[in-house]
A = this chain, B = another copy of it.
Amino acid sequence: MRKKVNQHQLEGWINHVQSFTHLGKVPDYIPALAKQNPENIAISIVHLNGECIKAGNLEHTFTLQSISKVISLALALMDQGEDYVFSKVGMEPTGDPFHSIAKLETSNPSKPLNPMINAGALAVTNMVEGSTPDQKVGRLLSFVHELAGDNSITYDEEVASSEFKTSFLNRSLSFFMKQTGVVEGSVEELLDTYTKQCAIDVNIQQLARIGAVFANEGKDLETGRQIIPQHYARICKTFMVTCGMYDASGSFAIRVGIPAKSGVSGAIMGAHKDLGGIAVFGPALDEKGNSVVGMHLLEMLANREDLFIF
């Protein structure tokens, strides 16, 4: 049963959450993110019929950060197949932080528990087809262009370069996985690709449209062409449910119940099979790393429209 929200509702919700913009904290450990204005907030929904509504600061762009993990997973599944991908990366949620390395050591066999934690995402990005970082990044961007229906999207060089210089923990995870055979090839090239992938820069409407393709079982909204095979789109949405919101995935599933993926830039992308793609944005984060404003917007949306899927 298709559901719809209208422009007026979105504007009401945006007004309501203005009072939360200064709760939470803009993260300071990524210099390029630290400069963001917490009052730049936005929401957009792309319905399954392609209709787009939006409210808030619509010009502002932001980087995908961890939201890109869902996109690289879809592409790696298409490039390498399900069996190969899950021979290297697990399917299970974890109670450990997204950047944790301890489980790589204590699990037997050693593989990252799922593709939404950093270790798993690095392993997945490493599987994207391409013999150089440029080729891989090029393919990731082309895929994003298809999903968003917009060929102008690119990555933010300043953010990518700033993260590349300070990604010591991701290098640690990658070298650990190189030791155990989960990652092959050059770690520096992997980090180059990964930081550019995380730095892909979008606006609120583009993000909602990407979410809408997942909501639409992988099919282009207008042409109905299967951009992502249905089964892979479902795999991606399942990981959004079980591990999409960092250490708050379980409580988010209870309180909101929409497949969603969060990024440290303050964006969250949702994909609801009866409603469509959802994008919310607000730079100030709660202690789990999720946008405070974004969480409020999704909770309001879910409760008022009864979007709970279980």
Each complex incorporates copies of this chain amounting to: 4
Give A242 to B91 CA distance when docked, in angstroms.
12
Measured CB to CB, the closest approach of chain B to A137, in angstroms, equals 22
Inter-chain contact A103/B95, CB cutoff 8 Å: yes
**A5 at the binding interface (Cβ < 8 Å):** no
6 further A-B pairs in the complex, CB-CB below 8 A; given A90-B250, A92-B248, A169-B179? A106-B106, A168-B176, A234-B254, A238-B253, A238-B257, A242-B242
- Residue on B nearest A240 in the bound complex, by CB: B310
Contact partner, A96, options B95, B104, B178, B253, Cβ 8 Å: B95
Interface hits, A71-103 → B, CB 8 Å: 90-96, 100-103
Interface hits, A179-195 → B, CB 8 Å: 179, 187
**A20 at the binding interface (Cβ < 8 Å):** no
Measured CB to CB, the closest approach of chain B to A256, in angstroms, equals 10
Q: Mark A280-310, 1 if CB is under 8 A from B, else 0.
A: 0000000000000000000000000000111
Interface hits, A111-169 → B, CB 8 Å: 113-114, 168-169
Q: Collect the chain B residues with CB atoms within 8 Å of residue A51's CB.
A: none
Give A106 to B100 CA distance when docked, in angstroms.
10
Inter-chain contact B257/A234, CB cutoff 8 Å: yes
**A261 at the binding interface (Cβ < 8 Å):** no
- Residue on B nearest A248 in the bound complex, by CB: B92
Question: Chain A residues in contact with chain B, CB under 8 A?
Answer: 1, 90-96, 100-107, 113-114, 168-169, 171-176, 178-179, 187, 234-235, 237-243, 247-251, 253-254, 257, 259, 273, 308-310
A-B contact pairs, 25 of them (CB 8 A): A1-B1, A90-B250, A92-B248, A93-B93, A93-B95, A93-B242, A93-B250, A94-B94, A100-B105, A101-B172, A106-B106, A171-B172, A171-B175, A172-B175, A172-B179, A175-B175, A234-B254, A238-B254, A238-B257, A238-B310, A241-B242, A242-B242, A242-B249, A242-B253, A309-B309
Rank and list the top 4 A-B pairs by shortest CB-CB distance, nearest first. A93-B93, A94-B95, A172-B175, A92-B250
Inter-chain contact A101/B101, CB cutoff 8 Å: yes
Give A86 to B254 CA distance when docked, in angstroms.
12
Give A94 to B240 CA distance when docked, in angstroms.
15
**Known pairs A100-B105, A179-B172, A257-B234; A91 contacts B310 (CB<8 A):** no
Inter-chain contact A308/B234, CB cutoff 8 Å: yes
Measured CB to CB, the closest approach of chain B to A67, in angstroms, equals 17
Contact partner, A95, options B92, B173, B248, B310, Cβ 8 Å: B92
Inter-chain contact B176/A91, CB cutoff 8 Å: no
Contact partner, A249, options B93, B174, B248, Cβ 8 Å: B93
Inter-chain contact B101/A105, CB cutoff 8 Å: yes
